[in-house]
Amino acid sequence: MQQRSDLYTLPEGLPVPTDDGACEHLRGLNLPSIALHSTDGHLIDLASLPGRTVVYLYPRTGRPDHPGSAAWDAIPGARGCTPQSCGFRDHYAELRSLGASAVFGLSTQTVSYQREAAERLHLPFPLLSDGDLALTHALRLPTFEFEPYGSESSTHLTRMALVIRDGRIEKVFYPVFPPDRNAEDVIAWLKENPR
């Protein structure tokens, strides 16, 4: 039987999230100007980035030293942040070749927490923190509550991905399942919708 501490693979039988309509308002929305801290030490304002930007949103990455939880696995769409991040890492060059000027991961975790995952997973792009929930509230992003790790927020983003063009949301991928195929879904859409 697969151990819950195995962050890199998805166990069988995870509950599948359904489209509850929580993202219907996002397509075509102009992003507000909000600076987000990144794991590479910069402040990133997604609204000001030119061209196409791909942002995948995830609840929280686990850590090898924290055992998983059956309660977390029971939340539809919660499990799989590491496989989702690895998918975007592995397809990073292709995303860029298809017109993504930048790729980011985004969660409500602090930068110090995210940095561990960015380094361990060798991500070629930074992770962004919305730890104060400014972007989450401004865009009315879907969230759920779950016990935090230490001082981390108990508010977690529901998994999705966005393609943003010149500060305007062009495409929303929601719900995302399985998370390890999210990057491939974004790639397929970029191929069908060239720059």
Half-sphere exposure (CA, 13 Å, Cβ side) for 129?
20
83 preceded by cis ω (within 30°)?
no
d(CA 99, CA 119): 25
Q: Respond yes or no: is residue 81 known to be catalytic.
A: yes
Residue 134: phi and psi, rounded to 5, are -65, -50
Q: What are phi and psi of 109, to 5 degrees?
A: -75, 155
Alpha-helical segments (H) within 47-133:
70-73, 81-90, 92-97, 111-120
| Catalytic residue chosen out of the listed positions 36, 49, 81, 98 | 81
Catalytic residue positions, numbered? 81
